[in-house]
Amino acid sequence: MERLNRIIRKKDLPNYVGLQRTQIEQLIERGEFPRPVPLSNSGRAVGWIECELWAWQQQRLAKREAE
């Protein structure tokens, strides 16, 4: 399956990864989640690269399988 480098916007992120915004923010602060990419000079608009989110999900699945 081909992975595209499309941008996942902040409002769509909880549905994409299955976590609430606060949980995502905590994971980012701990360095356990991909960092957002600024989409504007002000930094207010941010997004995530889909292939990075996919890789994060695969790591979570691998960890589950290893346990």
Q: Where are the domains of the chain?
A: 7-66
DSSP bridge partners of 46: 38
DSSP bridge partners of 9: 47
User: Distance between CA atoms of 30 and 67, rounded to whole angstroms?
Assistant: 22
What confidence tens digit (pLDDT) does each residue in 8-64 have? 999 999 999 999 999 999 999 999 999 999 999 987 899 999 999 999 999 999 989
User: Distance between CA atoms of 5 and 20, rounded to whole angstroms?
Assistant: 23
pLDDT value at position 3? 60
CB-based contacts of 29, cutoff 8 Å, min separation 6: none
